[in-house]
Amino acid sequence: MTERGDKKPVILIVDDMPENLEVLRHLLKDKFAVKAATRGLKAIEIAEEQVPDLILLDVMMPEMDGFETCRIIKSMSWGKSIPIIFLTALKNKSDTVMGLKSGAVDYVTKPFEPLELLTRIETHLELQQNRIKVVQKNQEQNELLRILSHDLSNLFGGVLTLYELGDIADFSQDEIRQRIQELSQQGMNMIDMTRKMYSLEDKKLVLSTVDIDSCIYDSIRTLELKLKKKQLTLKYPKETSMKVVAEPVSLVNSVLNNLLTNAIKFSRPGGEIEINLRRNSQDIELEIQDYGVGMPVGLLKDIFDVSKKTNRAGTDGEEGTGFGMPLVKKFMLVYGGNIEVVSVSERVNKASGTKVTLTFKIADHPNEVD
């Protein structure tokens, strides 16, 4: 049995006999945080206020028996996954079957053996933790697939844009072939990064010392044709030689590409985008500022919430998925950094636009990461 961080697992014991509650409380108090109720309705109220990790439930109680109490708890969204163990003097097999059908995971008859009861409690808590881990891993894998599909769409979009602009005099056939090769290589890097993430047991990225200028340059190269298509001016003072803690493939493809794509998407044709780097005493800040249409307050509030619909068309009809900003924040937190967004909507002020500030940990020594 493992504890959740520094907190003991919470056990709710339900029995109409106070002396039985006292015996159970004495048995459990060293390993668990114990809550108690003498009635089914009171147990439900307690569980709603703080969902327990496991419930020990008597069957024969006045007003509402344990079977009905169990069924009600299992009908609640918060109660579906709580392990419930019946602890009762009823010994008929039909009672055991009824208890399991009502949603319990186990059935222990009185008088019980203390060591056996403790072992069953710990076993069911361990099983519950394992189920939670499986669900979390599935969610992580689904999110990883979503990251891959979302960010590869940027790269394929660049290839398609090359074909659309293939007859523009600014680009020779050799330049177009080179750009397609670069975009294809970045796509392969994304797939390789995803494979590495799958191979890691804890699904965490391996962080390293990264040249932020090189990553910004790679991102600009990826989106260069989108900038030209919309006739946007990009201002970026290069050669700052700043090193940050990050993972380079995800930084370029999942963070910078998403932010620059948004800046392009919501800038007016012929507008301007600024990128600025600033080193402070404790961190490095990267600012991406556009002077486009900005965001309404309601949209800005939900911008990092993957469950909220935040996608909208750009100034030239560009479409989006709404996953970009939540993914950017996820990666920035993994890097040990942060992200802040300030935006003024064109509906509020003519001087509209959006400024995104990324905060990175400083990495002064090559290959040395905390």
Reported as type and span, the H/E element at residue 356 is strand 353-361
CB-count burial class (<10 Å; 0-12, 13-18, 19+) for 215: buried
Gap between the Cα atoms of 214 and 365, Å rounded: 17
DSSP state, 350? S
Query: Are 22 and 45 contacting, i.e. CB atoms less than 8 angstroms apart?
Result: no
3-state secondary structure (DSSP) of residue 82: coil
Q: Report DSSP state, residue 273.
A: E
- Please give the span between the terminal C-alpha atoms of the chain, in angstroms, as a whole number: 31
Residue ranges in 295-359 assigned as alpha helix (H): 297-301, 324-334
d(CA 27, CA 61): 22
Q: What are the start-end ranges of the E strands in 203-271?
A: 208-211, 233-235, 243-246
pLDDT averaged per 10 residues in sequence order, the chain, 370 residues = 64 92 92 93 93 92 89 91 87 74 85 89 91 77 69 74 62 72 72 57 74 92 87 84 90 90 93 93 94 88 72 75 74 92 87 94 64
pTM over 0.85: no
Q: What is the pLDDT of residues 1-52, one digit of tens each?
A: 444 445 889 999 999 999 999 999 999 999 999 999 999 999 999 999 999 9
Total Cβ atoms within 10 A of residue 126: 12
Name the 3-class secondary structure at 181. Answer: helix
Which domains are delineated in the chain?
10-112 (3.40.50.2300), 134-361 (3.30.565.10)
pLDDT digits over 189-217, tens only?
667 656 655 544 454 678 999 999 999 99
Residue 182 host element (H or E): helix 173-199
- Cβ atoms of residues 241 and 217 within 8 Å: no
Q: Give the count of beta carbons closer than 10 Å to the beta carbon of residue 201.
A: 6
| Both structure tokens of 16 | 């109409």
Helix (H) or strand (E) holding 340: strand 338-344
Q: 78's torsion region: left (phi>0), alpha (psi -120 to 50) or beta?
A: alpha
